[in-house]
């Protein structure tokens, strides 16, 4: 979770433009960390694994009440999410993901592909291998990573203040031990419970802007002491005390 200062400086250095015979060339994506490096500028109409990797990192910037698809196709929704990400960090908001956008992502990312303010260890206090849930261990871990990027966006929108996780991934055994719902999103890896300095209602209300289709909070049975976020196939929001 510690930012690698040297890699960030190197990434920033590689964004400089070079002029060759009167033509300005923009440097390619910087090799900024050990996770993933983009090799081309991405814009609407393009597709590929590099687009999908971008979608994961901007999945916390969809429109209100929507979820950004991770299909590897750079469509209008992805462009809008990129624009919101760029606006959030004071970048030129043109919806095109180039070196400056990628370098900001690198600066927000640890070498295991998680955002700098969240980790697999705090998300999974159940077991060491992500097994025993409703999906394969690799899927649960991936789902957790996507939710972490959504939380990273939410954290930034809330003034970069701590978001405290009380529970993340659970196997069936761990879920049963705490009395979790039989269909809990914790079993899929994307479910997370938040407590801490922000009010529970503030957390639930803000989450509506960051790609969570499952929001349960105060006023919903069993959720007066935490706000639960997850990613159900269809929208499932209920926090009556908070007006949701």
Q: Are strands 192-195 and 227-230 parallel, antiparallel or unpaired?
A: antiparallel
Residue with tokens 């180039």: 98
The size of the chain, in residues, is 244
In contact, 169 and 110? CB cutoff 8 Å: no
In contact, 197 and 164? CB cutoff 8 Å: yes
- The three-class DSSP label of residue 144 is helix
Please give the pLDDT value at position 18: 31
1-5, 45-49, 138-142: the lowest-pLDDT one: 1-5
Res. 32 pLDDT band, cuts 50 70 90: low
Q: What tokens does 194 get?
A: 């938040």
CA angle 149-97-94, nearest 5°? 110
- Above 70 in pLDDT, residue 226? yes
Q: How high does pLDDT run on average in the chain?
A: 89
Sheet strands (E) in the chain: 17-20, 23-26, 164-167, 192-195, 214-216, 227-230, 236-238
pTM of the model: 0.88
Cα–Cα distance measured from residue 165 to residue 194, given in angstroms and rounded to the nearest whole number: 5
Higher pLDDT, 197 or 100: 100
| Closest listed residue to residue 82, CA positions, set 105, 116, 107, 115 | 105
User: Any idea which residues carry the catalytic annotation?
Assistant: 223
């Amino acid at each position: 979770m510690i930012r690698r200062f040297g890699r960030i400086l190197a990434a920033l250095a590689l964004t400089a433009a070079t002029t060759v015979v009167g033509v300005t060339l923009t440097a390619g994506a910087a090799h900024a960390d050990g996770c993933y490096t983009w090799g081309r500028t991405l814009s609407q109409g393009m597709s590929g694994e590099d687009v999908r990797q971008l979608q994961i990192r901007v999945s916390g910037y969809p429109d209100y009440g929507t979820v950004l698809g991770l299909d590897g196709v750079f469509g209008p929704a992805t462009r809008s999410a990129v624009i919101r990400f760029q606006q959030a960090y004071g970048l030129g908001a043109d919806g095109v993901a180039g070196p400056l956008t990628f370098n900001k992502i690198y600066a927000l990312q640890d070498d295991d592909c998680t955002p700098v303010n969240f980790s697999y260890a705090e998300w999974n206090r159940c077991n060491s291998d992500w097994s025993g849930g409703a999906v394969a261990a690799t899927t649960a871990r991936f789902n957790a990573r996507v939710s972490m990027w959504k939380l990273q966006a939410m954290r930034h929108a809330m003034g970069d203040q701590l978001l405290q996780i009380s529970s993340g991934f659970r196997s069936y055994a761990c879920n049963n031990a705490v009395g979790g719902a039989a269909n809990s999103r914790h079993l899929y890896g994307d479910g997370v419970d938040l407590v801490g300095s922000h009010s529970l209602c503030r957390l639930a209300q803000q989450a509506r802007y960051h790609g969570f289709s499952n929001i349960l909070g105060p006023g919903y049975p069993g959720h007066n002491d935490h706000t639960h976020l997850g990613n159900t196939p269809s929208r499932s929001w209920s926090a009556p005390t908070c007006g949701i």
